[in-house]
């Protein structure tokens, strides 16, 4: 049997390149559609739901093919499907998918991405599990699971290269053609891997080897069939994967709400998410259970502090708190997945359950939460869910190296404290610092909410402040935690400029200090603040206003 490094290279090349293409195409298509739907985290979340669902479809295809025949036949079937994708290149969204005023953004994004990249994404997704299974057939003395770490390394490389190298240097159409060229290279690596599998099968006389899944252990000539997977174990795989996926999307939404809506804050959490897969699947010993279980309470405490302090905390500390919590949570979820992985004979079922969990977490956070939750409480619920999942995993785990997981009572008390803290924050309690005494106090942010609406793009509220009927009475519009405008209701102040465009703002000072401020001015206004700025117009002034969403 060929165990030379050259015989293993096609598998590594095809898996790494396939994963690179999977994560190259996500920001590529995102770059196409963001100007159409708006540069908001909701668009990114909906896109991730589509890609996770397509990943599930690819893993389901791999599992189905794995049950249809020996590895050489599986490789040939996959090679044939991959060849069909060439007919769909390049993957450029058609103009007809641009949304109109009455379009449902989430539904349109789902249809657009499925029609544009559905088959290529499914085929590339199926390649990872199938190639690992074929690798286990051709090299039964080596664990195929390390190739999953290589797969995530390729994904991370694509994710980091796109904003730094690809997007600044190449036009969008050129990027699509580059992706197509790389896909042809992937097809060549896939063909080489299929050749190795077929050659191995011929040399072994058609007998399929049964690898053990342990590194460095030679398989026995005859081995009993792999034991069936218990439903509870499969549900735990799905749950742990869903927990990590939900925490990823919820953290991204929370960071964009509290910090800023910039693509970098979409890439950073996803990069950390992939990094945990790389660490956990590369070497089992990298996941030190006692260390990360001990770090979990500290990470949850850190997340609660960031939520309570909010705007009082510097941006770098907000980002650091969210990222540390995400990393620890995902390391635990994915580390437990690796610890519970089956023998390679059940590899495709394992990845199918993982992808089902990833899609489930994405659907719950990206599609269901905006319809069910009146506020942005996904992050709070994701933290609680991950803690519960890890309690489940620790209670069902076999005690290793003399380390016992925390007792049930300790976990429940900790979860009650965590739930109470998150509920208090969801109800508006925050830590406020007195600028004079530097003392911190716990206060509830009180506001009279006149109207609230949550849709695809977030939560919009209309607040009331001041004394009704008095000069200080006002109404304000808020999106998430961002104030978008204030208007006084009293007749004497209704036309008073306010918020970002008040008399002491940059705009107010510029108009007041203009050399022709005593005469007629010609003013052009573009943007969402056009309505507020229009109140500056005086007799004889001429102004043109253009509004852009």
SS in 3 state form for 111-153?
A: HHHHHHHHHHHHHHHHHHHHHHHHHHHHCCCCCCCHHHHHHHH
pLDDT at residue number 221: 39
Q: What is the pLDDT of residue 309?
A: 85
In a domain, 224, yes or no: no
Let me know whether 264 and 191 are in one domain.
no
What does the alpha-carbon distance between residue 519 and residue 167 come to, in Å, rounded to a whole number?
47
Neighbours of 502 (CB within 10 A): 13
User: What confidence score (pLDDT) does residue 222 get?
Assistant: 42
Average the pLDDT over 353-357 and give the result: 93
pLDDT band for 414, please (50, 70, 90 cuts): confident
Q: What is the CA radius of gyration of the chain?
A: 27
For residue 359, what pLDDT is reported? Answer: 92
Q: Which domain holds residue 96?
A: 1-209
Q: Please indicate, yes or no, whether residues 197 and 293 belong to a single structural domain of this protein.
A: no
170 and 247 assigned to the same domain: no
Average pLDDT taken over every residue of the chain:
81
Q: Taking residues 489-517, what's their average pLDDT?
A: 80
61 and 138 inside one domain:
yes
Looking at the structure, do residues 86 and 27 belong to the same domain, yes or no?
yes
Q: Which of 81-85, 315-319, 539-543 has the lowest average pLDDT?
A: 539-543
pLDDT reading at 225 higher than 70: no
Lowest-confidence segment of 29-33, 63-67, 134-138, 530-534 by average pLDDT: 530-534
CATH number, domain of 39, equals: 1.20.1250.20
When mean pLDDT is compared over 33-42, 182-191, 431-440, the highest value belongs to 182-191
**Whole-number pLDDT of residue 404:** 56
- Does residue 402 sit in the same domain as residue 357? yes
Which region holds residue 440: left if phi is over 0, alpha if psi is between -120 and 50, else beta?
beta
State residue 217's pLDDT score: 30
Domain count, the chain: 2
Residue 367 sits in a domain whose CATH number is 1.20.1250
92 located within any domain: yes
Q: What's the pLDDT at 209? A: 44
Query: At 101, is the pLDDT very low, low, confident or very high (cuts 50, 70, 90)?
Result: confident
* In the predicted structure, residue 32 carries a pLDDT above the cut 90: no
The answer to whether position 307 is within a domain reads yes
**Model confidence at 327: pLDDT above 50:** yes
Q: Is 80 exceeded by the pLDDT of residue 480?
A: no
Q: What is the pLDDT of residue 401?
A: 43
d(CA 413, CA 168): 51
- Pure H helices in 259-377: 264-282, 289-309, 315-339, 347-363, 369-372
What is the average per-residue pLDDT within 245-251? 94
The domain boundary residue, chosen from 439, 456, 491: 439
pLDDT at 322 over 90: yes
- pLDDT average, residue stretch 462-470: 87
Q: Where a domain ends, among 209, 241, 256?
A: 209
pLDDT band at 519 (very low <50, low <70, confident <90, very high): low
| Most confidently predicted of 5-9, 508-512, 518-522 | 508-512
The model's pLDDT over 133-146, given as tens digits with 9 standing for 90+, comes to 888 877 777 878 88
Model pLDDT for residues 3-28, shown as the tens digit of each residue: 455 567 888 899 999 999 998 998 89
For residue 310, give Cα distances in angstroms to 255, 269, 297, 433.
11, 19, 20, 11
The answer to the question of residue 7 being in a domain is yes
**Token pair listed for 149:** 């770490």
The verdict on 205 and 241 lying in the same domain is no
Q: Which residue has the higher pLDDT, 213 or 235?
A: 235
Q: Are residues 114 and 252 in the same domain?
A: no
* pLDDT of 114 higher than 90: yes
Asked whether residue 547 is assigned to any structural domain, the reply reads no
Quick one: 96 and 160 in the same domain?
yes
For residue range 43-55, what is the model confidence (pLDDT) as tens digits?
888 888 899 899 9
**Is residue 479 one of the residues assigned to a domain?**
no
Work out the average pLDDT over 154-164.
Answer: 88
Segment 214-230 mean pLDDT: 49
pLDDT at 301 over 60: yes
Q: Residue 142: what pLDDT?
A: 80
239 in the same domain as 201? no
Q: Which residues pair with 453 in a beta bridge?
A: 460
Q: Residue 215 falls within a domain, yes or no?
A: no
Q: Which two tokens stand for residue 523?
A: 């003013």
Pairing of strands 542-546, 522-526: parallel
* Residue 130 within any structural domain of the chain: yes
Domain identity same for 6 and 154: yes
Would you mind telling me the total number of residues written for the chain in this entry? 549
pTM above 0.75, yes or no: yes
Distance, in Å, from the CA atom of 398 to the CA atom of 413, rounded to the nearest integer, reads 23
Judge if 63 and 153 occupy the same domain.
yes
pLDDT at position 218 is 34
């Amino acid at each position: 049997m060929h165990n030379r490094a050259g015989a293993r290279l096609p598998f590594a090349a095809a898996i790494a390149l396939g994963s690179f293409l999977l994560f190259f195409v996500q920001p590529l298509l995102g770059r196409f559609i963001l100007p159409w739907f708006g540069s908001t985290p909701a668009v990114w979340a909906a896109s991730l739901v589509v890609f996770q669902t397509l990943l599930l479809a690819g893993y389901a295809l791999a599992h189905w093919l794995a049950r249809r025949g020996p590895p050489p036949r599986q490789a040939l079937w996959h090679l044939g499907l991959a060849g069909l994708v060439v007919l769909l290149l390049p993957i450029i969204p058609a103009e007809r998918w641009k949304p109109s005023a009455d379009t449902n953004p989430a539904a349109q994004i789902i249809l657009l991405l499925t029609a544009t990249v559905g088959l290529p994404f499914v085929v590339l997704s199926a390649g990872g599990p199938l190639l690992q299974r074929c690798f286990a057939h051709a090299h039964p003395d080596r664990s195929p699971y390390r190739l999953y770490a290589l797969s995530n390394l390729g994904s991370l490389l694509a994710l980091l290269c796109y904003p730094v190298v690809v997007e600044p240097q190449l036009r969008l159409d050129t990027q699509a053609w580059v992706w197509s060229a790389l896909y042809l290279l992937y097809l060549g690596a896939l063909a080489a891997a299929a050749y190795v599998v077929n050659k191995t099968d011929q040399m072994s006389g058609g007998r399929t080897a049964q690898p053990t899944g342990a590194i460095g252990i030679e398989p026995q000539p005859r081995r009993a069939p792999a034991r069936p997977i218990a439903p509870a174990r499969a549900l735990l795989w799905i749950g742990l994967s869903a927990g990590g996926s939900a925490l990823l999307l919820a953290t991204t939404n929370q960071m964009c709400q509290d910090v800023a809506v910039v693509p970098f804050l979409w890439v950073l959490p996803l990069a950390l998410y992939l990094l945990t897969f790389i660490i956990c699947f590369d070497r089992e010993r990298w996941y030190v259970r006692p260390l990360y279980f001990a770090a979990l309470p500290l990470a949850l405490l850190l997340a609660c502090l960031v939520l309570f302090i909010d705007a009082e905390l510097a941006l770098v500390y907000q980002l650091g708190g969210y990222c540390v919590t995400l990393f620890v949570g995902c390391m635990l979820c994915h580390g437990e997945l690796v610890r519970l992985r089956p023998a390679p004979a059940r590899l495709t079922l394992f990845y199918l359950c993982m992808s089902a969990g990833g899609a489930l977490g994405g659907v719950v956070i990206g599609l269901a939460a905006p319809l069910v939750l009146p506020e942005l409480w996904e992050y709070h619920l994701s933290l609680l869910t991950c803690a519960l999942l890890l309690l489940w995993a620790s209670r069902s785990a076999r005690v290793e190296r003399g380390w016992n997981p925390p007792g049930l009572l300790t976990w429940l008390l900790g979860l009650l404290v965590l739930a109470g803290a998150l509920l208090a924050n969801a109800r508006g309690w925050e830590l406020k610092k007195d600028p004079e005494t530097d003392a911190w106090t716990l206060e509830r942010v009180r506001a009279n909410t006149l109207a609230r609406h949550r849709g695809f793009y977030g939560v919009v509220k209309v607040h009331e402040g001041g004394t009704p009927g008095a000069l200080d009475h006002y109404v304000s519009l808020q999106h998430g935690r961002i104030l978008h405008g204030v208007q006084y209701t009293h007749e004497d102040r209704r036309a008073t400029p306010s918020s970002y465009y008040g008399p002491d703002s940059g705009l107010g000072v510029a108009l007041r200090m203009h050399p022709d401020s005593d005469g007629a001015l010609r003013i052009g206004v573009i943007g969402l603040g056009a309505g507020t700025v229009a109140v500056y117009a005086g007799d004889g002034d001429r102004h043109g206003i253009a509004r852009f969403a």
